[in-house]
Amino acid sequence: MSYTAWIISIGNELLIGKTVNTNAAWLAKKLTLLGYEVRRVITIPDNEEDEVEVFRDAVRRGIRVVISTGGLGPTFDDRTSEYLAKALNRKYVINDDALRMVVETFKAKGLELTEPRLKQAKMPEGARPLPNPVGTAPGIWVEEGNTIIIALPGVPSEMMGIFENYVEPKLREIGPKLHFVEKSITVKGVPEADLAPIIERGMKMSSRVYIKSHPKGHEIRAPLVEIHIYVSSEDVRNAENEINKIVDYLVTSIKEKGGEILS
């Protein structure tokens, strides 16, 4: 079994330079950390010809995991789900589970259930919807031959929310057998914004490290931040060496900033 991946970024805003493709970098990091090898990132416009071609190309090459972002919203040019159905030669149908999710979300938000919004419940036949903890459009999980295609919204918070809650656990389960080690440190006296560049440099120390900060105290008055460090590797000892190296770097840099390490 190979653990290859493609990322397909859909949207004209990326092709006119209006938006920097931070989604692709975020997903590439996550997939690498899970042990997948990202072979290609392809950015294409919201149009049938390109989307059908690229989805089919990924399936033909037997890429294991294909993640697309963009084109799941309610507007007329959000047609990724429809083009994906076409690429897989499947019907484009109302998915009952997706319909329940969409109806619930709209009720909860007090929104009217209009035709364009109902469209968000339509998917390729045989697909599974992925709940959206942030917005209204469910993600899509569909398998074709050896390939899993996951379509996510382009809004970063929605893309991340669906990925972390419903995609990451499954990809970890079916991915390579990696060892994960994690550590947490709690920092007093340095606001999260000042920790950001330190964390960013730490993230670049290894391709399979992920560092996340969780603010606990008051951002300015009494900053207290928990930093969670997470490393994956085929080899336990290697993972432990990596995490120690990164924790050492973080602790040194934070102390230089006048921060106190509580644990």
14 binds its own copies (CB under 8 A): yes
In the bound state with its own copies, the residue whose beta carbon lies nearer, of 19 and 241, is 19
In the bound state with its own copies, the residue whose beta carbon lies nearer, of 21 and 186, is 21
CB contact set of 175 (below 8 Å; sequence gap of 6+): 3, 34, 35, 36
DSSP string, 57-111: HHHHTT-SEEEEES--SSSTT--HHHHHHHHTT--EEE-HHHHHHHHHHHHHHT-
| Piece of 8-16, 76-84, 96-104, 141-149 that binds its own copies (CB under 8 A) | 8-16
Are the beta carbons of 83 and 53 closer than 8 angstroms?
Answer: no
Angle CA 178–70–150, to nearest 5: 35
Task: Quote the least distance from Cβ 45 to its own copies, whole Å.
Answer: 7
Task: Quote the least distance from Cβ 57 to its own copies, whole Å.
Answer: 10
CB contact set of 178 (below 8 Å; sequence gap of 6+): 34, 35, 232, 233, 234
Read off φ and ψ for residue 42, nearest 5 degrees: -125, 125
Task: Quote the least distance from Cβ 160 to its own copies, whole Å.
Answer: 13
27 binds its own copies (CB under 8 A): yes
176 binds its own copies (CB under 8 A): no
In the bound state with its own copies, the residue whose beta carbon lies nearer, of 20 and 111, is 20
Site for its own copies in 39-68 (CB under 8 A): 39-45, 50
In the bound state with its own copies, the residue whose beta carbon lies nearer, of 44 and 123, is 44
Binding-residue pattern over the window 209 to 238 for its own copies, x denoting contact by CB under 8 A: ------------------------------
In the bound state with its own copies, the residue whose beta carbon lies nearer, of 12 and 244, is 12
Alpha-carbon distances of 134 from 2, 33, 71, 153, 161, rounded to whole Å: 32, 24, 16, 11, 7
Task: Quote the least distance from Cβ 125 to its own copies, whole Å.
Answer: 29
In the bound state with its own copies, the residue whose beta carbon lies nearer, of 42 and 52, is 42
**Site residues (CB under 8 A) for its own copies?**
9, 14-22, 24-32, 38-45, 50, 203-204, 207
